[in-house]
Amino acid sequence: MKIICVGRNYAEHAMELGNDIPEEPVIFMKPKSALLQSHTPFYYPEFTNELHYECELVLRICKNGKYIQERQAGSYYDAITVGLDFTARDIQDELKKKGLPWEKAKAFDNSAVLGKWVPVTPALNKKSINFSLYKSGELVQKGNSSNMLFSFDSIIEHVSKYFSLNIGDLIFTGTPAGVGECVVGDELDGFLEEEKLFALEVK
């Protein structure tokens, strides 16, 4: 199982971090060890002083494939959820200044959080899915899949040119504007439409 992530997939988020709006999906990956197991507490990492939340829609791959065409991509994922891509922003900023890879800031243990899976059915309008994140009861992020620069299916087409997709792989599809810092004691609640899919306390 691999975790594939898309960066800068919402224009407002790219701008809030001072990044250019990309012409194609920005791809990075997290190892399997980045996945926070269910019912496991999340502890603030000791190596960062600026931990940021990034709330995203996440797809679950259900078929093996390579060189998948966009028109066929919808059959390669069967469930969606809301997740968190935790980022050690201070470390990421240092690495970016040096022109170095981001892995230490993005791919550390337990940096990927998943909510409850929701089946993808014909009734689900994939082009307009609302999702949101609350921090200790305050709305901090709100997004809609219609505002993605690259749709679910176009992401799968692009990624599968370079990496074979396998059953159980996860694709984090990018975060909207509103990312910010969290501290010990914060409670993070992720919603898909009106349904809460995860509740996490930073310890």
Mean per-residue pLDDT of the chain:
95
- 65 has a pLDDT exceeding 90: yes
Q: What does the pLDDT look like over 166-198, one tens digit per residue?
A: 999 999 999 999 999 999 999 999 999 999 999
Contacts of 190 (CB under 8 A, 6+ apart): 55, 82, 83, 84, 113, 115, 131, 132, 133, 196, 197, 198, 199, 200
pTM, rounded to two decimals = 0.95
CB 129 within 8 A of CB 57: yes
- 75 has a pLDDT exceeding 90: yes
What is the reported pLDDT for 5?
98
- 73 has a pLDDT exceeding 80: yes
What is the reported pLDDT for 54?
97
Confidence of residue 17 (pLDDT cuts 50, 70, 90): low
In the chain the domains, ranked by start, together with CATH numbers, are 3-201 (3.90.850.10)
Q: What does the pLDDT look like over 103-117, one tens digit per residue?
A: 999 999 999 999 999
Residue whose token pair is 């240092």:
94
Give the number of other Cβ atoms within 10 Å of residue 165's Cβ: 22
% pLDDT > 70, the chain: 97
What is the reported pLDDT for 11?
77
